[in-house]
Structure 1
Amino acid sequence: MTTTRKWGPDLEVEPYDAPAGGWGSVKSLARSLTHSRVPFSGPRVLLKQNKPDGFACVSCAWAKPADPRVFEFCENGAKATTWEITHKRVTPEFFAKHTVTELEAWDDHHLEDAGRLTHPMRFDAASDKYVPVSWDEAFAEIGRELRAMEPDSAVFYTSGRASLETSFMYGLLARAYGTNNLPDSSNMCHETTSVALPESIGVPVGTCTLDDFAKTDCILFFGQNVGTSSPRMLHELQDAAKRGVPIVTFNPLRERGLVEFANPQSPAEMLSGSATPISSQYHQVKTGGDTAAIMGMAKALLAMQAKGESGRVIDWDFIHEHCHGWDEWANAVKACAWSDIEQRSGLTRGALEAAAHVYAHSSATMFIYGMGLTQHRKGVETVQTLVNLALMRGSIGRPGAGICPVRGHSNVQGQRTVGITEKPEMVPADKIKSLFGIDVPRKKGLVTVDACAKIIDGSVRAVIQLGGNLVRSVPDHRLVVPAWRKLRLTVQILTKLNRSALVHGEISYILPCLGRIEIDEQATGRQAVAIEDSTGCMHGSWGQVRPASPHLLSEPRIVAELAKATVPNRTTIPWDEWVGDYSKIRDAIAATYPDIFHDFNARMWKPGGFHRPLGARERTWKTKTGKANFIIPKSLSTDIDTAPEARDVVQLITLRSNGQFNTTIYNYDDRFRGIYGSRQVVLMHRNDIERLGLQEGAMVTLATAVDDGVDRQVGGLRIVAYDIPEGCIAGYYPECNPLVPLWHHEEKAKTPASKAIPVRIKADALAS
């Protein structure tokens, strides 16, 4: 019998034991269509989502199949689409009614739920309001302000949803201006992957495609919530599970999408109520315990090989021909004590041997992972240790096998492919000079956490945001937000209002743009854009609906106008021609990156997309050794160690809910975790609740358990008893972001370590 618990005026907890998908997704879709006031037009648009003649989803980056289903969208993708094509509008009249101070008091959901922005706006300090401004005036002042600054005092941030065309133009604008300060949303999530994989296998992205799911006979799944973050992948996982493919999952929480799935597009499953079990083994690893768990599996494989079990466990031919560093890796694994592995991972030796046994009996294994591996202080080492496990059995460069990092935002990977990077050595400087007359600056630029540090110390004076909600997504709000208000210039290129437009600088502009789903008419007619999905395939995308306002400009047009106002004589780029015909932008991309984008305009319409060349898929290793490298982790600890006697310190994991995408909060419900009406919760194991003298339903405050002179707290959170490893707790992102120190990031990649934050819990004095 299901027990419903109610805490306070809003929070209701009712354990959810239904599968991911099913009728729950259908009901959620109906609510999304109604809420965004598109009950009749919305379904027609959704039929074009992720189709070759339609548009690429604006939320997750999961792969687009060559032979799409009738409904090639998921519950969260439908939310993102209805959210963007909503009939709600934020007009100049809206801003006339509300001061910025008043809007700052609104929560994230209500800010974006107000609707689509319709006019360019400029902040007016005298009235504390945004007021209308002409596009020409906006571009002229922004250009004037930027020209008056040192180039490295400005930051050009990019959100993942910007197209390949826009991202390419934006990178050229920044470099023509004179800076490599091009932080992006990759810095917040999978920069760890981009640093780890090139050292190990010579490519910055995963090696698997959708085709590999049909050929695999084993899937090892780490640190990713497929039901919320990339639900369309559930179709591939379901097909694999039905074929009898074992799916071994390592995740701190038992997520519904990794437990079972009912396909909403299957009449038989919907009518019968049947569901497919997804994970054949489910190991609730401690947060930060993945390196230890992987080392345990490797240790079990070596033991099996030594005993002659299961035939040839280690692929010696592959290792001898293709790998470097085997002896050092094998010795490190042998030296690792089972007691340390068990303590760090929170898993038993038997559990890890069971997982290794499944892997040892496979011939083609896929390794899927998400931010549960990347958002740690030693996340690069964890990813590289996972690659080591794959190399032991030759599980890279064969059909059905390989590394599969699950990227988050649509095109977050693609923007890096076309030059959004702080590293000057990662762009073809000579070609950019010869093609566009731009001297690429040689100084390394700022990643996101470094940009925030420079904003705090006053070195950065301007932030231009191409999409996103940077103020809300970065760590250390208590330090960052006051400093942000001292910036000279802030510019937000947005479709909807968010907190980054309200925490503004002295001069601040909101520049509303067309969304990807909207029809983009330019001088030569209707334009298409392109994106790269999580598996490295490029796709074309056509807008489907009329623009939300006749006053909107496209993202390429906005970037071009900023360039003309800021760097009018520093390039040979015909900005107006590019804006008039996006195919010319793609020709320029192809000329700059011919190995990847040759014949771009023709190939972008290939069903399923065209794949970027990846040497590792062909077992060609573009590394320093010319081989795939076994890289040894320095420690089983991936985060801040706390003293054993500090038993009041627990590790906080930040989560996304079923009702959100990144910082966009669609509603206050997290159906899969059974939490309704509030996001102000902390999930705890019952043993920890009792051990710390707390009670379920009590209101508590979390405080970061580090002593660096900064007081970091988040209060007003209610305790919810939950199935989570002891010593670990969980809370929602971005509400818990203030607890993440700016310096608490991956050591090499500088990705915020948001999956293991040491905190203490104290009961609120006025708990009810």
Structure 2
Amino acid sequence: MTKDTKSPSYPFASGGWGSLKSVARILAQEKIPLKDSAILLKQNKPDGFMCVSCSWAKPADPHTFEFCESGAKATAWDTTAKRMTPEFFELNTVTSLLNWHDHDLEEAGRLTAPMRYDAATDKYVEVSWDNALAEIGRELNALDPETVVFYTSGRASLETAYMYQLFARMYGCNNLPDSSNMCHESSSVGLKEAIGVGVGTITLEDFESTDLIFFFGQNVGTNSPRMLHQLQDARKRGVPIVTFNPLREPGLVSFANPQSPVQMLTPAETQISTQYHQVKTGGDSAAMLGICKAVIEADDDAKAQGLTRVIDVAFIEEHTTGYEEFAACARATEWSEIERVSGLGRPALLDAASEYMKANAVMAHYGMGLTQHRLGVQNVRMLCNLLFLRGNVGKPGAGPSPIRGHSNVQGQRTVGITEKPELAPLDQLAKQFSFEPPRKKGLNTIEAFESIVKGDVKAVLNLGGNLVRSVPDRLQTEPAWARLRLTVSVATKLNRSHLVHGEVSYVLPCLSRIETHRTPRGDQAVSMEDSTGCMHGSRGVTEPASEKARSEQYIVAGIARATLGERPGVQWDAWRDDHSLVRDEIAKTYPEIFHDFNARMWEPGGFHRPLPARQRQWKTKSGKAEFIVPHSLGEDPDMPENAPEALRLMTLRSDSQFNTTIYNIEDRFRGVKGTRMVILMNKADIERRHLSEGQKITLQTIADDGIDRRLERLEVKAYDIPEGCIGGYYPECNVLLPLWHYAKESKVPGAKSIPVRIVG
């Protein structure tokens, strides 16, 4: 339940002076002059660049400062004055760089020249672009296409992603995993099954008409802080916000708007959550079933007494299937079981249900707290069940809202980055470009690494990201990665994926989205899709970090041309220099979404992709919105029963972190300083195990696969987290996450509930 007190680790509102100080600190850290910091005024503006950090929606009428602390850090990180030149690599062997901290590698600055690994000296050495592209093409042509993986980070633009998927398919495979496989694939699968489209259905305008907001497993204060503006406005209108999250996070408790003189100069702040329920890690399905049970039982009573029904009978009868089976399951499930699994008392769940039953329009935001579980797809389906009960899909102010991470992770899927051939318009691509696309299912991220470990994959092309560091089971996957024949990484900064290299390895420096991309056809713009399905244009505003850095489009086109040679109808060179031509091709492939793409990409607020579910058109197997009966309330089938030593580990990001990029070692919101090697534990768990704060412990994964996964020298820190649950930082704790510990239908790693024990 909601408490009046804040977390003792950070007894302040999120935002406020703490946010301003943090932004000032990173601008100074990256040696960005005051005049250059003005580029932040162009961030998320129609005439500027779209943030390279999170994918939260960009308003048509932006604030003067339409950026958050996290976005400012991402911009400072990209526009840093620091450089990693070829001279740097002359002074440092790859072996020595492997001992650097992840933060220090990226903090060293922007890459300035294409580099090739030289085994004789154990160093990266500068090469020309022509030689790099030609050799990569020769290497790819010597390999079976099915042994090559084309990975995409969520920062790639729509134009780049479209070119990349076309290249991969012309090359001969559908091995197109991306960062979505690691986080919201459970949404893509679950929402597709439930409502017929694999993305959320809300828009920014829905915040103006919503009556209630649910949050499940998403820390808005650090992962999408710009949403706090919409939440603050909703709270001023009296809209309740009901939060379910294991940890008590400051950003979900209260917010002081750095753009409000009143809130900056007085103790004023906005309470965000009106109810805050600290659900057990892995207890979300049980919590949602509890709310549904309360609603269904209240409806049963109303029906028996001849009163107004509680559920939306008309919506359920006309638009859904499976209600009776689900309702029977909810009625039959004992409250004691719901309480045990969720960690929440019946009164707390009844309070949440009471708010739900009073509201006419309800939106439900959620993050990886729902998706990164063994039953992650079920979690998403259960959230849809909850919304269906009162018709909260397909009307203003209501709907599911998966909060995506990377700025274009949703968009790259929209333009064809998928390993599933049935989700790509292969027939249209075949007609448009006169080739026969492969029809065999490709590899997602988990399957790619399973194949890398087996030795079946020989090469990986990385379009951004830090793949080696982000995947589970590091002690198994890193040695296998080093046995690859070819690794190619398109990047702005050095990271561990470049140092754990293949036999032939290239690191190719690309322009940031923030930088001006000049070509013989003039300055080029790119586009991306935000979390609400709106497409936006983006123009670079700063000078490139290096004259030898190239655009993503240049690099993809260059490798494709070196590999495939000339192909009729495929204008790699023209697309490289004129991105409007790529957008023309995207519009031909996806006319329903991207018609008049070049003309519409600068619409304030973006143009919205069609979402049939918003009009209550259901592109599901049944043609209706589909209820599901949960398989099990216990989130984790790998969590041993009757094992008192077992703990549920959930991985976390800090306030100075975006995915694997760590801007600062400290986490001010959680009171962590000087290290990331900490474990957040309930005080009762600390005392029960005769531990003390600051003590160093070793965690071991509970698994019976014969592999000893353990992480040593973790510092115990008392924190407001449910008993039996602990938290540790990502990616450091990935070593404890087995590669096979993933959501059944989506193969999203189960990073939010890893069974572990303390062994030392």
Do residues 604 (structure 1) and 601 (structure 2) align?
A: yes
Q: In the alignment, is the contact (CA less than 8 A) between 1:438 and 1:571 conserved in 2?
A: no
CA shift for structure 1 position 762 = 2.7
Choose the corresponding residue for 1:75, options 46, 69, 73: 69
Do residues 47 (structure 1) and 41 (structure 2) align?
A: yes
Choose the corresponding residue for 1:97, options 63, 86, 91: 91
What is the match of residue 291 of structure 2? 297
Do residues 287 (structure 1) and 316 (structure 2) align?
A: no
Residues in 1 aligned to 2:50 and 2:151: alpha-carbon distance in whole angstroms? 22
Residues in 2 aligned to 1:229 and 1:597: alpha-carbon distance in whole angstroms? 29
Aligned ranges 1:47-66 → 2 under 5 Å: 47-66=41-60
Choose the corresponding residue for 1:415, options 412, 417, 426: 412
Q: In the alignment, is the contact (CA less than 8 A) between 1:587 and 1:601 conserved in 2?
A: yes
Choose the corresponding residue for 2:614, options 604, 614, 617: 617
Q: Secondary structure of 2:96's partner?
A: helix
Do residues 721 (structure 1) and 715 (structure 2) align?
A: no
Do residues 487 (structure 1) and 481 (structure 2) align?
A: no
Q: Secondary structure of 1:723's partner?
A: coil
What is the match of residue 199 of structure 1? 193
Residues in 1 aligned to 2:89 and 2:631: alpha-carbon distance in whole angstroms? 54
CA deviations 1:545-565 (Å, max 9, x no partner) are 000000011000100000001
What is the match of residue 211 of structure 2? 217
What is the match of residue 457 of structure 1? 454
Do residues 682 (structure 1) and 679 (structure 2) align?
A: yes
Residues in 2 aligned to 1:63 and 1:642: alpha-carbon distance in whole angstroms? 37
Aligned ranges 1:169-184 → 2 under 5 Å: 169-184=163-178
Instruction: Give the root-mean-square deviation of aligned CA atoms.
Output: 1.1
Residues in 2 aligned to 1:39 and 1:23: alpha-carbon distance in whole angstroms? 21
- Amino acid in the other structure paired with 2:28: T
Residues in 2 aligned to 1:687 and 1:526: alpha-carbon distance in whole angstroms? 60
Choose the corresponding residue for 2:25, options 19, 23, 31: 31
Q: Secondary structure of 1:25's partner?
A: helix
Give the total of aligned pairs: 751
CA shift for structure 1 position 609 = 0.4
Choose the corresponding residue for 1:744, options 736, 741, 745: 741
What is the match of residue 443 of structure 1? 440
Residues in 1 aligned to 2:577 and 2:569: alpha-carbon distance in whole angstroms? 16
What is the match of residue 262 of structure 1? 256
What is the match of residue 353 of structure 1? 350
What is the match of residue 136 of structure 1? 130
CA shift for structure 1 position 311 = 4.0
What is the match of residue 640 of structure 1? 637
Q: Secondary structure of 1:419's partner?
A: coil
Residues in 2 aligned to 1:30 and 1:486: alpha-carbon distance in whole angstroms? 43
- Amino acid in the other structure paired with 1:620: Q
CA deviations 1:247-272 (Å, max 9, x no partner) are 00000001101100000000111001
What is the match of residue 660 of structure 2? 663
CA deviations 1:173-221 (Å, max 9, x no partner) are 0000000000000000000000001110000100001111111010111
Identity %: 62
CA shift for structure 1 position 128 = 0.4
CA shift for structure 1 position 229 = 0.4
Q: In the alignment, is the contact (CA less than 8 A) between 1:175 and 1:438 conserved in 2?
A: no
- Amino acid in the other structure paired with 1:611: H
CA shift for structure 1 position 379 = 0.6
Choose the corresponding residue for 1:167, options 161, 176, 191: 161
CA shift for structure 1 position 569 = 4.2
Q: In the alignment, is the contact (CA less than 8 A) between 2:410 and 2:530 conserved in 1?
A: yes
Unpaired runs of 5+ residues, structure 1, are 1-12, 764-768
Do residues 541 (structure 1) and 535 (structure 2) align?
A: no
- Amino acid in the other structure paired with 1:757: I
Residues in 1 aligned to 2:345 and 2:39: alpha-carbon distance in whole angstroms? 49
Q: Secondary structure of 1:736's partner?
A: helix
Q: Secondary structure of 1:566's partner?
A: helix
Do residues 404 (structure 1) and 398 (structure 2) align?
A: no
CA deviations 1:298-336 (Å, max 9, x no partner) are 100012112229943100011111111111111111111
What is the match of residue 4 of structure 2? none
What is the match of residue 549 of structure 2? 552
Do residues 506 (structure 1) and 500 (structure 2) align?
A: no
- Amino acid in the other structure paired with 2:376: G
- Amino acid in the other structure paired with 2:115: M
Residues in 1 aligned to 2:639 and 2:496: alpha-carbon distance in whole angstroms? 34
Residues in 1 aligned to 2:523 and 2:282: alpha-carbon distance in whole angstroms? 48
Q: Secondary structure of 2:456's partner?
A: coil
What is the match of residue 424 of structure 1? 421
CA shift for structure 1 position 14 = 7.2
Q: In the alignment, is the contact (CA less than 8 A) between 1:109 and 1:664 conserved in 2?
A: yes
What is the match of residue 6 of structure 1? none
Q: In the alignment, is the contact (CA less than 8 A) between 2:176 and 2:419 conserved in 1?
A: yes
Residues in 2 aligned to 1:363 and 1:113: alpha-carbon distance in whole angstroms? 49
Residues in 2 aligned to 1:375 and 1:291: alpha-carbon distance in whole angstroms? 13
- Amino acid in the other structure paired with 1:544: V
What is the match of residue 529 of structure 1? 526
Residues in 2 aligned to 1:393 and 1:15: alpha-carbon distance in whole angstroms? 38
What is the match of residue 381 of structure 2? 384
Evaluate the alpha carbon distance shift between residue 571 and residue 480 of structure 1 in structure 2; reply closer, same or farther with a 3 A threshold: farther
Q: Secondary structure of 1:620's partner?
A: coil
Residues in 1 aligned to 2:568 and 2:651: alpha-carbon distance in whole angstroms? 43
Unpaired runs of 5+ residues, structure 2, are 1-6
What is the match of residue 3 of structure 2? none
What is the match of residue 88 of structure 1? 82
Residues in 1 aligned to 2:317 and 2:567: alpha-carbon distance in whole angstroms? 52
What is the match of residue 109 of structure 1? 103
What is the match of residue 710 of structure 1? 707
Residues in 2 aligned to 1:14 and 1:510: alpha-carbon distance in whole angstroms? 44
Q: In the alignment, is the contact (CA less than 8 A) between 2:43 and 2:51 conserved in 1?
A: yes
What is the match of residue 14 of structure 2? 20
> TM-score, normalising length from structure 2?
0.98
Q: In the alignment, is the contact (CA less than 8 A) between 1:45 and 1:544 conserved in 2?
A: yes
CA shift for structure 1 position 645 = 2.6
What is the match of residue 8 of structure 1? none
- Amino acid in the other structure paired with 2:156: A
- Amino acid in the other structure paired with 1:371: M
What is the match of residue 359 of structure 2? 362
Do residues 333 (structure 1) and 333 (structure 2) align?
A: no
Q: In the alignment, is the contact (CA less than 8 A) between 2:167 and 2:560 conserved in 1?
A: yes
Aligned ranges 1:566-585 → 2 under 5 Å: 566-570=563-567, 572-585=569-582
- Amino acid in the other structure paired with 1:377: R
CA shift for structure 1 position 571 = 5.4
Residues in 1 aligned to 2:182 and 2:435: alpha-carbon distance in whole angstroms? 28
Q: In the alignment, is the contact (CA less than 8 A) between 2:640 and 2:646 conserved in 1?
A: no
- Amino acid in the other structure paired with 2:239: V
Q: Secondary structure of 1:540's partner?
A: strand
CA deviations 1:423-443 (Å, max 9, x no partner) are 111111121111112321011
Evaluate the alpha carbon distance shift between residue 166 and residue 332 of structure 1 in structure 2; reply closer, same or farther with a 3 A threshold: same
CA deviations 1:399-441 (Å, max 9, x no partner) are 0001100000100000000000001111111211111123210
CA deviations 1:332-390 (Å, max 9, x no partner) are 11111111100000000111011000000000000110000000011101110110110
> TM-score, normalising length from structure 1?
0.97
Q: Secondary structure of 2:418's partner?
A: coil
Residues in 1 aligned to 2:139 and 2:639: alpha-carbon distance in whole angstroms? 47
CA deviations 1:111-141 (Å, max 9, x no partner) are 0000000000000001000001000110111
- Amino acid in the other structure paired with 2:507: I
User: After the TM superposition, which parts of structure 1 deviate over 6 Å for at least 4 consecutive aligned residues?
Assistant: none
What is the match of residue 10 of structure 1? none
CA shift for structure 1 position 43 = 2.4
